[in-house]
Amino acid sequence: MPESEIRKGLAGVVVDYTAVSKVNPDTNSLLYRGYPVQELAAKCSFEEVAYLLWNGELPNESQLAEFTARERAGRALNPVVKFAIDALPLTTHPMDVCRTATSIIGACHPLAEDSSVEGNMAKAMELFAAMPAVVAYDQRRRRGQDVVEPREDLDYSANFLWMTFGEEQVPEVVEAFNVSMILYAEHSFNASTFTARVVTSTLSDLHSAVTAAIGALKGPLHGGANEAVMHTFDEIGIRSEESLEEAASRAKTWMEDALSQKKKVMGFGHRVYKHGDSRVPTMKAALDKMIAHYGRPELLGLYNGLEQAMDEAKAIKPNLDYPTGPTYHLMGFDTPTFTPIFVASRITGWTAHIMEQAAANSLIRPLSAYNGAEQRSL
């Protein structure tokens, strides 16, 4: 087969329909079930967006009340999961902790093998409710701290921060976190969602599909980029006494040097968007608010310096992982916790796709062109 017919990385290949979200790189827009993500981020809670992704419509008041009650009832850390996390070394990467916790939640689930619409919806809801406790506790145990019990009077985002830090956060911080969760929730056939769909297409179960998706998200070419962005900032050096201009100038020099060495700089570029990620302006506005709230202009200097130098050298724009990295850093999350936060959000999109795949399934099995040894005999 001629090389020109090979679609490496499935780039540009349309493999199926989806009604969950529409990514349009020409208009730089992203719709969840028809709604622009920017509008959802401005006006909705993450719980409403989760409901929308799973049900196709936003909830009315009573639907939201019922949904919220179920989410709040499922927040406590499962004792079996806690036991397993405690058995893992403190050096275990938090993404491996999330992946392991998901697998255990699945293995213990009474509906583990039930892939009916009702079974999948119940499991998706429970995993969505349970993941913040996993992410929060893992960060806390690495700091030598105990579990913080969930608070039923707080919404999803406020409770996530409460369980992580053991302190209630001010509304500006909760709002910025809520925005990030909504923006991370869904993005059509990205690598991790496609992974979840591949697993589902074999008629495997929801937790297997999500466990595999977490593995796909971990890599720095995908979700792991938010963690990698912070490593870049650390490598350049965060100097709290520095002015915005001084930080920007050092960051520009760093980027020029990195690009001259042909390095890939995480947090920039995208397979689908070639003129900028539709979600970045909304997340950058949230980051700006956090920079003002925490009084850290030098981080904006680093952010601007890298962005400008990349734009001047290669016209490559930041993706969503670029503004979320420093935002989570400012909020007090450890850098390796950043991608698990993405997991907690993307569970909604993954499971919406798992249910969509299951409803109109066809085994996903592409072809390959053989380029190994010619047929031979022993």
Ligand X SMILES: CC(=O)SCCNC(=O)CCNC(=O)[C@H](O)C(C)(C)COP(=O)(O)OP(=O)(O)OC[C@H]1O[C@@H](n2cnc3c(N)ncnc32)[C@H](O)[C@@H]1OP(=O)(O)O
Ligand Y SMILES: O=C([O-])CC(=O)C(=O)O
Among 21, 164, 190, 226, binds ligand Y (CB under 6 A): 190
Closer to ligand X by Cβ: residue 275 or 314 = 314
Does residue 353 bind ligand Y (CB under 6 A)?
A: no
204 CB-near residues (< 8 Å, 6+ apart): none
From ligand Y, ligand X, none, interface partner of 225 (C-beta below 5 to 8 A by class): ligand X
Q: Name the minimum Å distance from CB 148 to ligand X.
A: 28
Among 75, 222, 252, 284, binds ligand X (CB under 6 A): 222
CB distance 254 to 306 below 8 Å: yes
Q: Taking CB under 6 A as the criterion, which residues in 125-144 touch ligand Y? A: none
Closest residue by Cα to residue 354 from 38, 40, 100, 128: 128
Among candidate residues 227, 214, 216, the one with its CA nearest the CA of residue 104: 214
- Piece of 170-178, 248-256, 269-277, 356-364 that binds ligand X (CB under 6 A): 269-277
Q: State the binding partner of 142 from ligand Y, ligand X, none, CB within 5 to 8 A by kind.
A: none
Q: Tell me if 265 contacts ligand X by CB under 6 A.
A: yes
- Site for ligand X contains 319 (CB under 6 A): yes
CB of 241 to ligand Y, least distance (A): 35
- In the region spanning residues 144 to 203, those forming contacts with ligand X, defined by CB under 6 A, are none
3-class state of residue 191 by DSSP: helix
To the query of whether residue 321 is one of the catalytic residues in this protein, the response is: yes
| Residue in 109, 187, 207, 270 annotated catalytic | 270
Question: DSSP string covering 40-106, please?
Answer: HHHH--HHHHHHHHHHSS---HHHHHHHHHHHHHT-SPPHHHHHHHHHS-TTS-HHHHHHHHHHHHH
Nearest to 219 by CA among 321, 124, 334, 365: 321
| Cα pseudo-dihedral 305, 308, 314, 318, rounded to 10 | 80
Active-site positions read 222, 270, 321
Binding site for ligand Y (CB under 6 A): 187, 190, 270-272, 319-320
